[in-house]
Structures are given as C-alpha cells and as structure tokens.
Amino acid sequence: MALAADGNLHVLYQSNGAEAMPPVKFLPAGSLASGVNLDESILYAATVGNCGGPNAIYALDLENKEASVASFPTNGSAASGNGGTAIGNDGTVYAQIAEGNGSVAGKYNDTVLALTKGELKVKDYFTPTEKMPAVAHAPWAQGATPMVFTWKNRELLLAGARDGRLYLLDAASLGGADHHTPLYRSDPIAAQGSVQGAFATWEDPNTSTTWVYASVWGPAATGAKFAASNGPAPNGSIVAFKVEERNGKPVLVPGWSSANVASPSAPATANGVVFVVSTGLPQTGGVSVQQVESTAKPAVLYALDALTGKQLFQSPSASAFSYNRAVSVANGRVYFTTHDNTLYAYGFPFPQ
C-alpha cells in the first residue's frame, strides 16, 4: 500500500507492482502521515504538522465499499510518535495527544485515548496530572506512540510523556475511575523530557522476562539509575526496563542504558538484539526543514544486546540523515531509509 501526495491510497501487488484496485481517496491532499497501520481490513493513518488540514487520525475499511473515511480531529498537536496509532487485541485504537481538546476527555495533556475500531469514537482515556513542558515543534512527529503488549495474560500499554516519565496503563481501564491513575508511573528518565519515536518489547526465552525499550533524546535525567550503563550518552540512548510484579501490579525496573546514540530512532527487536539508528537529527524543536538539512549528521545503524545493551555492531555512516522513522526487521534483514531516498538493508543470520 502507498499513500500519494493527493491523498489517494494505492493498493499494489507485491509480485509486480500493478494496482490491485482503483485508487481510493483516504487523506486530504498534501497530508503528511506519521504512521499507517493495517488491522484486518481497516487502515489507519495519523497526520502531522497541519499539512493538508488540521491534525487528525483517519480510518478506512478496505473491504466495505460503502464505508466512508472516519476521522478523529485532535484539535491541536499531532498524534505522538512516528507510529501514529497502536492497535489492541480487540481492535481498539490507541493514540496519545500532547495538546488539544475533545468533547469526552476535555483538555489534552499528553492524553492517551482509546478509540473504537473503525469509527474512532472515544471510549476511554488517561491524562497525567503532571504539568508538562511546552510541545516542541519540528518537521516530524514529536513524542512517542504508545505500545500495546501482553504481560501475564493482561493487555498493557506503555506510554511516555513530555516530563520524561514512562507510564504503564491497563488496556481495560486506562486511568481508572478518575482517568488520572496509571498502574505505574516512573521517575523521569530523560533530562529534557524527550522520549521519542516509539517503544519496543522482547521476551527473554530463557526466563520469560518481558523487557521494554525506549529512545531517549539528549542526556538521561539526573538521578535516573540503571543496573548497567554502557558509557556516557550526552546525545541520546536506548534505555531498557524489565516488567516485574510488585504488590500485585506491574512496575518497570531499570535494566540498562546504552552508550551514546545521537537522536535515536524507535528501536526494533529480533533474536535477542535491539536495532536502532542514530538519525543524525538536531535535538531542538522549532527547526525548519532547511535548518535540519544544513545541520543534521549522517545516520548510523547499531545492534545492541537485548539483555545488556552492549554494542554488537555499528554500520558505516549512511549518505544522509534519517528522519525519525522506525527501523524495520523482516526476512533476516534490517531496513532503514535516509533523507536522500536511499534504502539500506543489513542482513543478519538466524540461529541454525
């Protein structure tokens, strides 16, 4: 599937690139989509930067020819992170909105919304009570997209906020009766409140321990303690936590922090390895596309041990920087793109 600049969706055959169906109008012309996700037959996308119109989340059922495009306006900032939305096991759509407002949740403050499948109606929400820093503005989606994962037969959400904290939420009741009570709230882990991109998870096959991973831009918060540190990280790092049970509730136990990875992409995991790209992007908000192009550094791919954070591999510098996109892992290869329209693929062997 591909989204064109005119907002039309093109469905292509993988074998030859031919159109499988006529183009379908999906997004407003000129939209910049931060994340496109397919759940069964329903396609979701979130728009960024008020390009093509106000920021919103869109849904389209590709199997229902009579269905119209559903939309959920944020009335403010874009859906956080480069994933746009996350999808639960029952089809619930989750998104985090830094600033804006809605008729159900009221004023957003890094609010996590649960939206109905396909229709995008608010059915639950969680809003942190902490006062947040101002929203940073840049030519890419800010913040981190929430992650849905299963732990001890419970569906949980991991979310980050502009105060540098991480939150664990119960998918069955995001913020409890008052919509402000998480299952767990961490101490700040990022000095500049910069948890970016998206999260990743991995289960250790030897111990069944669930790990979660986050991308921190800039230095870690003063007082952030990890069981293992792999060196100074003034420009960014990947941080890892174990999900453990304390007093009947899940908590995040700091595991390790990586060595310096400047402006890291969202991590991806496979075979006990965490893959991440140093995007080369500047870390300050408010920068223009021209400023990014003149100051950004070439991207670099890293492979880290999922248990310790030790560096296993570092690629040569790419030909250009990479916008804050996720790393993709498929077919025994790791893929990422750079601003000059280059696709990089690195192969890694599967255990025999």
Residue 132 located in a structural domain: yes
pLDDT number for residue 152: 93
Q: pLDDT tens-digit profile of 245-274?
A: 999 999 999 999 999 999 999 999 999 999
243 and 323 in a single domain? The answer is: yes
209 and 283 in a single domain? The answer is: yes
Residue 203 located in a structural domain: yes
207 and 332 in a single domain? The answer is: yes
| Average pLDDT of the segment spanning 304-313 | 97
Residue 275 located in a structural domain: yes
CB pairs under 8 A, 24+ apart, for 164-167?
164/188, 164/189, 164/190, 164/191, 164/192, 164/193, 164/194, 164/195, 164/221, 165/128, 165/130, 165/189, 166/195, 166/214, 166/241, 166/252, 167/112, 167/126, 167/128
Residue 162 located in a structural domain: no
Tell me, what amino acid is at 308?
T
pLDDT number for residue 349: 64
Minimum mean pLDDT range among 4-13, 65-74, 189-198, 293-302: 189-198
In degrees, rounded to 5, the angle at the alpha carbon of residue 242 between the alpha carbons of residues 239 and 244 is: 150
Q: pLDDT tens-digit profile of 119-171?
A: 999 999 999 999 898 887 776 778 999 999 999 999 999 999 999 999 999 99
Sign of CA dihedral 90, 68, 9, 145: negative
Residue 175 located in a structural domain: no
The full DSSP string for 130-181 is SPPPPPP--SS--SEE-EEEEETTEEEEEEE-TTS-EEEEETTBTTTTTT--
pLDDT number for residue 352: 44
* Residue 210: pLDDT over 60: yes
d(CA 173, CA 296): 41
CATH of the domain at 91: 2.40.128
Provide the number of structural domains found in the chain: 2
pLDDT number for residue 160: 95
95 and 207 in a single domain? The answer is: no
100 and 203 in a single domain? The answer is: no
Q: pLDDT tens-digit profile of 57-73?
A: 999 999 887 779 999 99
* Residue 182: pLDDT over 90: yes
CATH of the domain at 346: 2.40.10.480
Q: pLDDT tens-digit profile of 15-46?
A: 888 998 889 999 999 998 888 899 999 999 99
79 and 191 in a single domain? The answer is: no
Model confidence at 193, in pLDDT bands (50, 70, 90)?
low
Q: For residue 280, what are the contacts with CB-CB under 8 A and spacing of at least 6?
A: 262, 263, 296, 297, 298, 299, 300, 320, 321, 322
131 and 222 in a single domain? The answer is: no
Residue 173 located in a structural domain: no
Q: In which domain, by residue range, is 24 found?
A: 1-150
pLDDT number for residue 208: 95
Mean pLDDT of the chain: 92
Q: pLDDT tens-digit profile of 214-250?
A: 999 999 898 889 999 999 999 999 999 999 999 999 9
**pTM for this structure?**
0.94
pLDDT number for residue 80: 95
56 and 202 in a single domain? The answer is: no
pLDDT number for residue 289: 76
